[in-house]
Amino acid sequence: MPDTALTTLSPLYDLHSHTTASDGLLTPEALVQRAVEMRVGVLAITDHDSIEGIVPAQRAIAALQLPLQLMTGVEISTLWENHEIHIVGLGVDITHPQLTSLLDEQRQRRTARAQMIAERLEKARIPGALAGAMALAEGGAITRGHFARFLIAQGKADNMVNVFKNYLARGKTGYVPPQWCTIKQAVDAIHHSGGRAVVAHPGRYGLSAKWLKRLLAEFATCGGDAMEVAQCQQPPNERAQLAQYAQDFQLLASQGSDFHMPCPWIELGRKLWLPKGVEAVWTRYPDLLIQGCAAQGKRGEQ
């Protein structure tokens, strides 16, 4: 079958995106409308340690009768061997108590860390960072992304790359070692709430091949289901390499833009396709799409 026929049959999946519920710049309502403009057929909203964007997005899709299917999602920060590893949960029941209590703990950790980041910046003669970052977060999960935007607004850096490099990356003035949950705790909460666990952007942790393989082995041992293989901005050979790892570690594959805001480089749905030889997580588990919406808890407690 020619590719053109395939693309008309199968919707475009983008299973990693952010809203104002964490460090995204678009509201859930604006994000789902943009997804439709970009011809995305299935979107997962995966805010940092938050599911608050899901219901407003579902309401907007219904009210505007948008041709878009929403998959519930979340991106949980974990700590493994001193590395911050992000685990995406897809198709979770957003009301499940094990998930919501884990996310509550994570939010408390975010608040505590934000206070410490602000204290460190204050000592470096940058006052007002907590109030500034909280104002930008507007009640959503507070992230380093909000501190980054505050610091840029203060004229401390001219772009996101430099503000992280100079202030917020490990070892810099505004860096505080995080206290996230373990990979196992994230995977368990995702599974108990009926979802599937996915290693987010495996190429973005700065791990050597040896350590990345260790991470994927650990994730598989914890019962993890899949790994992101395709993103819109990747070094030339990364997608093929990640597809090979997915097969080696018997993990399913996922894809997502990790869209945070309109910008020239990253766009919803852009360049998202999976190489041959991997199985998509949505193909193996087609009921991920109704899980967490109509069929809450159906597959829970397993």
Instruction: Provide the binding-site residues for ligand AMP, judged by CB under 6 A.
Output: 23, 48, 77, 143-145, 160-161, 164, 260
Q: How far apart are CA 151 and CA 154, in angstroms?
A: 5
Closest CA to 113 of 156, 49, 207, 45: 49
Q: Which stretch binds Mn ion (CB under 5 A): 20-28, 59-67, 187-195, 241-249?
A: 20-28
* Number of chain positions touching Mn ion (CB under 5 A): 6
Closest CA to 202 of 190, 217, 181: 217
Which option in ligand AMP, Mn ion, none does residue 249 bind, with CB closer than 5 to 8 A by kind? Answer: none
Q: Fill in the per-residue mask, 57 to 86: x = in contact with Mn ion (CB under 5 A), - = not in contact.
A: ------------------x----------x
Is position 23 an interface residue for Mn ion (rule: CB under 5 A)? yes
Q: Which residue blocks in the chain are alpha helix, DSSP H? A: 3-9, 28-37, 54-64, 97-123, 129-137, 144-153, 160-163, 183-192, 209-221, 238-248, 281-284
Burial 31-57 (b: 16+ CB within 10 A, else e): bbbbbbebebebbbbbbbbbbbbbebb
Q: Which stretch binds Mn ion (CB under 5 A): 125-133, 146-154, 163-171, 255-263?
A: 255-263
User: Which of residues 141 and 300 has its CB atom nearest to Mn ion in the complex?
Assistant: 141
Q: How far apart are CA 37 and CA 139, in angstroms?
A: 28
Is position 258 an interface residue for Mn ion (rule: CB under 5 A)? yes
Place of tokens 């878009």: 68
CB of 281 to ligand AMP, least distance (A): 21
Q: Give, as one character, the DSSP assignment of residue 160.
A: H
Which option in Mn ion, ligand AMP, none does residue 196 bind, with CB closer than 5 to 8 A by kind? Answer: none
Q: Are 73 and 270 in contact (CB under 8 A)?
A: no
Which option in ligand AMP, Mn ion, none does residue 192 bind, with CB closer than 5 to 8 A by kind? Answer: none
Tell me the CA distances in angstroms from 240 to 171, 217, 245, 273, one per residue in order: 32, 18, 9, 11
Q: Which two tokens stand for residue 32?
A: 């789902």
Which option in ligand AMP, Mn ion, none does residue 144 bind, with CB closer than 5 to 8 A by kind? Answer: ligand AMP
User: Which of residues 192 and 260 has its CB atom nearest to ligand AMP in the complex?
Assistant: 260
User: Which of residues 146 and 239 has its CB atom nearest to ligand AMP in the complex?
Assistant: 146
Q: How far apart are CA 84 and CA 77, in angstroms?
A: 7
CB of 260 to Mn ion, least distance (A): 6
Q: Which stretch binds Mn ion (CB under 5 A): 23-31, 51-59, 161-169, 180-188?
A: 23-31
Q: How far apart are CA 7 and CA 191, in angstroms?
A: 31
Is position 52 an interface residue for Mn ion (rule: CB under 5 A)? no
Which option in ligand AMP, Mn ion, none does residue 160 bind, with CB closer than 5 to 8 A by kind? Answer: ligand AMP
Q: Which stretch binds Mn ion (CB under 5 A): 144-152, 215-223, 231-239, 283-291?
A: 144-152
DSSP letters along 84-144, please?
A: EEEEEEES--TT-HHHHHHHHHHHHHHHHHHHHHHHHHHHTT-TTHHHHHHHHHTTS---H
CB of 63 to Mn ion, least distance (A): 26
CB of 111 to ligand AMP, least distance (A): 11
Residue 253's DSSP bridge partners are 227, 280
Q: Fill in the per-residue mask, 183 to 202: x = in contact with Mn ion (CB under 5 A), - = not in contact.
A: -----------------x--
Q: Which residues bind Mn ion (CB under 5 A)?
A: 23, 75, 86, 145, 200, 258
